Amino acid sequence: MLKSIMAGVDKTLVRNLVILHTAVIALSNYLVTIRFDLFPGADLPLFGSFPLAAAAFTFPIVVVATDLTVRLVGKEAGRAVVAMAIIPAIVASVLVLLALGDPHAYRVGFASGTAYAIGTMLDVYVFQAIREKSKAWWAAPAISTIAANIIDTYSFFYVAFAGSLDAEGNVSWIGANWHVVAQNNTLTKIVVGLIVFLPAYGILLNRLQTKYGKKLK
């Protein structure tokens, strides 16, 4: 089954895409442990001091990588690349967090795998659906970026942190406020994805398609 799906697909390209997915997810799962207030001391309605995880600035790369994967190798092969990256990404994430002594290492690893699978599969579906209906190169990655980041972020923070306990056995701050952090991370990811990574997508797509001999659609 896998051989038939990947038939004719450049093996070096697939390997590099899997490595890219794995590296970005592992890095993002480390950065999700680094949290800060964007507006310290503020008390904004709904947003508070806008607590964020640093991963909000790196994870949009995964969405761009997924969209590039689908554009370059097709929907089915794109799903296969995502599937091949899940296990090494989870293992790498858990090992990094264990090395840092994070008490939520296994839960974060499980949450990462779950959210990655749901978010990227949705991204592939939405991207392909919009791509088939719109000739504008930016429409599919823009809409899939919004959809995938909403589902991925809320799924991840709920599974990883909802109701989590601190060292004294009480519900931790992130355990009680995961939805606020998820909300703020979602908004940040979408803004960063559309302003920074969408233009980068266009540039990379042109270069990669020139290299691999495919036309821009």
The pTM is what? 0.84
In a domain, residue 107? The reply is yes
Residue 105 has pLDDT above 50, yes or no: yes
pLDDT at 101: 86
Question: Helix (H, G, I), strand (E, B), or coil: what is residue 51?
Answer: strand
Task: Express each pLDDT in 37-76 by its tens digit.
Answer: 999 988 888 888 999 999 999 888 888 888 888 887 888 8
Cβ atoms 182, 154 nearer than 8 A: yes
Residue 217 within any structural domain of the chain: no
Is residue 41 included in any domain, yes or no?
yes
Read off the pLDDT of residues 132-179 as tens digits, 9 standing for 90 and up: 888 888 898 899 989 999 999 999 999 999 999 887 889 998 999 999
143, part of any domain: yes
- CB neighbour burial string for 26-46, b if at least 16 within 10 angstroms, e if fewer: bbbbbbbbeeeeeeeeeeeee
pLDDT confidence band for 16 (50 / 70 / 90): confident
Kindly state the tokens that stand for 46: 């709904």
Number of domains observed in the structure of the chain? 1
**Percent of residues, the chain, with pLDDT higher than 90:** 28
User: Average pLDDT over the chain, rounded to whole?
Assistant: 86
The 3-state DSSP class for residue 151 equals helix
pLDDT at 181: 93
Give the Cβ contact number of residue 91 at 10 Å.
Answer: 14
Q: Is residue 71 part of a domain?
A: yes
| Domain assignment present for 40 | yes
Q: What is the CATH number of the domain that holds 131?
A: 1.10.1760
What pLDDT sits at residue 142?
92
| DSSP secondary structure letter of residue 169 | S
Q: Which two tokens stand for residue 40?
A: 């310290």
**Strand 35-37 with 51-53, pairing:** antiparallel
Helix ranges (DSSP H) in 34-138: 60-73, 75-99, 105-133
* Tens digits of residue pLDDT in 24-38: 888 888 888 888 999
The pLDDT score that the predictor gives to residue 214 is 54
Say yes or no to pLDDT of 2 above 80: no
**Residue 216 maps to a domain:** no
Decide if 205 is inside a domain: yes
The boundaries of the domain holding residue 125 are 2-211
